[in-house]
Structure 1
């Protein structure tokens, strides 16, 4: 058995029976490290190229092109064994796709590093250099992970990624335990999971994410909501990236010119010929028969200004002070999205007559650290 240039055991798993054996073993362990290689260029859903698992016996490279039923990974992914990952989001999307589940009990080493003051988005290379003193060659990162056979260089790269992740994990845990931060990593991973669910409501509300669309009238925003909701379902049905259906930029251009027929749409050159042929009539039908703007319609939030921007800056400054005192990355403690959400909540309520608690999406650990400071800031700005 070749170890592909590695100093540790490497095994490629190509059949279901062997994978089942290892899955039973991994489910009895306190932790394993998991990494994945995938391709997501011309598809909406990622295509798995390799799944790497590190345990106390070696590195196991699962070949998803040889194993038909990858839902057998589900008991491990949702079970009690801690799954160590670095920058978990893309791996989570892949496992949702191939194993039909939302993995639980994740320990994201990138989040752990942010809690330990190493910055919000520490790269894997920097992480390994920092904790193991090794320089990692990432030359195979963007190679073709769907081709077969994979080269020895690809297999060595993939195996080492999982191996080093497994090796560094105990150091991180020890540092977190020294500062009583151990449980926060999994809290934060759980919050990330909650934000990655792919519900019907999420698809219908994608329009709220389209940058710059707030400037259009609400009636135009209602059209955008219907078109973007349709695009979300079309992208999944056809397994194509959103931009290959209609891009956000094209949606904004449509709202600028509001063509009333296919000929006018063609003249705008907003769509290419394939988009015009496939989607032109539907888009025009939505523009000519716009949806009713219901009483509960959510307008797209505009960029903060005036009192809202002033409050946001005060909250952000408070976060920075608290984060510095704890040596936590301020961008993790006070995520921009969360601060903006809290500002919107403050102005949506009668803040002079009631306190506005931090919403649950902040997470228990942020609420504990930020609540008192935020209450004082809100009181000073509105109740004096």
Structure 2
């Protein structure tokens, strides 16, 4: 496994046409308009990960990355897609779908637990321990440390393998179509977050 580092964009033709791409983001915090996008992580499941860093005065003019994320022929795999979709939409100006979210899939089939974090899924589904020690570190600094790079890479490293196992369970429990409907709604859910309805259930009676 090799972690590749890029500044402001990815090289053209980095991934094979049509390959599904695992995607994650690192930001300065959890409030998207305030807390800038610092890193986008990518993996096609082949064993390498790619980190794209954006500086504090970035114009987010990343044509190759934007084209990759907006490609309607590529499935994008996320863990908690809602947040990443909003950050990518706000800063890069594209809707990064079609979408598969391992957290939603987990909630639909792992109803025997309330632990749906990436670390929990990695342990149960692929037998790997992921360290979350760098989760709250400063992603906007002038350099990314090796622990930060490894942490960021691990966020996309296992999503393809997780999807394979979760798909089996969705099929077994008869919830594949329901999961797909949830995935299809996620870009709209991210738009609602950005438009000012982050904690409002617009489907609620009251």
TM range (shorter): 0.7 to 0.9
| Alpha-carbon displacement from aligned partner over 1:201-248 (angstroms, at most 9, x marks no partner) | x55xx6x95xxxxxxxxxxxxxxxxxxxxxxxxxxxxxxxxxxxxxxx
Task: Pick the structure with more strand per residue.
Answer: 2
Q: Which runs of 5+ in 2 are unaligned?
A: none
Q: Which residue of 1 aligns with 2:178?
A: 184
Moved runs in structure 1, 4+ residues, more than 4 A?
none
* Preserved contact between residue 88 and residue 108 of structure 1 (Cα < 8 Å): yes
1:125 aligns with 2:125: no
Q: Which residue of 1 aligns with 2:98?
A: 105
1:80 aligns with 2:69: no
Task: Pick the structure with more helix per residue.
Answer: 1
Q: Which residue of 1 aligns with 2:3?
A: 10
Q: Which residue of 1 aligns with 2:35?
A: 46
Cα offset, 1:171, TM superposition: 1.5
Q: 1:184 to 1:133 in 2, by over 3 A?
A: same
Number of residue pairs aligned between Structure 1 and Structure 2 = 200
Q: Quick one: distance in 2 between partners of 1:48 and 1:166? A: 24
Q: Which residue of 2 aligns with 1:145?
A: 139
| Alpha-carbon displacement from aligned partner over 1:69-111 (angstroms, at most 9, x marks no partner) | 1354333323221111111111111101122122221100011
* Preserved contact between residue 8 and residue 60 of structure 2 (Cα < 8 Å): no
Q: 1:122 to 1:13 in 2, by over 3 A?
A: same
After superposition, residues 189-338 of structure 1 pair within 5 angstroms as: 189-197=183-191, 338=203
Larger Cα-atom Rg: 1
Say which of 71, 85, 91 aligns to 1:92: 85
Say which of 18, 31, 36 aligns to 2:25: 36
Q: Which residue of 2 aligns with 1:360?
A: none
* Preserved contact between residue 85 and residue 95 of structure 2 (Cα < 8 Å): yes
Q: Quick one: distance in 1 between partners of 2:51 and 2:35? A: 18
TM normalised by structure 1 equals 0.46
- Higher RCO (CA < 8 A, seq sep 6+): 2
Say which of 53, 61, 65 aligns to 1:69: 61
What is the alpha-carbon root mean square deviation over aligned residues? 2.9
| Alpha-carbon displacement from aligned partner over 1:320-370 (angstroms, at most 9, x marks no partner) | xxxxxxxxxxxxxxxx764x33xx6xxxxxxxxxxxxxxxxxxxxxxxxxx
Q: Which runs of 5+ in 1 are unaligned?
A: 1-7, 210-335, 345-384
Q: 1:43 to 1:129 in 2, by over 3 A?
A: closer
Q: Quick one: distance in 1 between partners of 2:153 and 2:36? A: 19
1:172 aligns with 2:191: no
